Amino acid sequence: MSLALMQPASRYGVLLVNLGTPEAPTAAAVRAYLKEFLSDTRVVEIPPLLWSIILNGIILPTRSAKVAKAYASIWQSEGSPLRVITERQTQALKQAINSRSGQSIHVDYAMTYGQPSIQSRIDDMQARGIDKIAVLPLYPQYSATTTAAVFDKLNRHLAKVRNIPEIRFLKHYYERDSYIHALAESIAKYRQVHGDAEKLIFSFHGIPKRCVNKGDPYYEHCKFTAERCAQKLGLSDEQWLMTFQSRFGKEEWLQPYTDKTLTELGQAGVKKLQVVCPAFAADCLETLEEISVENAEIFIEAGGEHLGYIPALNDDAEHIELLVELAYSQLQNW
């Protein structure tokens, strides 16, 4: 894989972007993070004035301490798992790109919410003389609630910049063979160590059903991912399921719900399950605590015996190869 650049390498930058994380596993830090995250109209499509009352009067006062406790249970000595893993991905990608191309291309990361912000990273790149920036949101499946939120943050900042850089923006990569391959390989490797399970569950982060009804392609992207991966693994239709986790509020979200499915399977006599979360490029609260702990307990309480969580792609070699391909696809002949 070669890289053809039309300008000196010092003019190019690659920016990985993920969702974000609190600065610390404390109620105050979580409250600040949730306020920024849940104030985004891409995430919550409720009239702003009404939502402000609900968010500031009910949700933040009641949920911040509870969520902080969950973060504390997964916090690492280096910090938030999401940030630690994203930093490792960034360094591995930078080393891979520059060692193969023999050129010095700047690679960094940002978070949509919290720090380091997209604004600060773009400003830093421009200060370095970089005027061609490839932005890679780490969401394989596109949704307006995630990828479009990155696009909005980027554009709101650039609207204030006098001399804007050139931008290339990756919308999704769910359909790439290299992504399906990396995902299937991670599942196969896990099973080589831990054995198979009665069923494999592809648990994607949920979004409100009305978002899909309005034209969000996320459900179809998830369905494609699960079907292609199951096919690559040679699984029959009876050996896998697609579900959706992390719903919030009382309205209907994409179904089937992961927690309810685990209850039903446990009650039906299924004893051993494995869960993979393909929408997450790095392990975080929703995988390390929600799936590995909370949902595992739900399954066992319903009669199951073991739920094995298959880690996200993180900084595995296959994933870094995929990120190199994605970066090259944006930088090529630019």
Short-list 102, 122, 99, CA closest to 112: 122
Determine how β-strand 272-276 pairs with β-strand 240-245: unpaired
- Alpha-carbon distances, residue 57 vs 30, 101, 178, 274 (angstroms): 16, 53, 45, 39
- Alpha-carbon distances, residue 52 vs 41, 94, 150, 216, 308 (angstroms): 11, 40, 22, 25, 39
Q: Are 70 and 52 in contact (CB under 8 A)?
A: no
- What is the distance between the alpha carbons of residues 222 and 119, in angstroms, rounded to a whole number? 30
Q: What is the dihedral of CA 146, 147, 153, 156, to 10 degrees?
A: -130
- 286 labelled ligand-binding: yes
- 194 labelled ligand-binding: no
DSSP state of 173: -
Q: Are 223 and 243 in contact (CB under 8 A)?
A: no
Maximal C-alpha separation, the chain: 63
Residue positions forming the annotated binding site = 205, 286
Please state the residue numbers annotated as binding site for Fe(2+): 205, 286
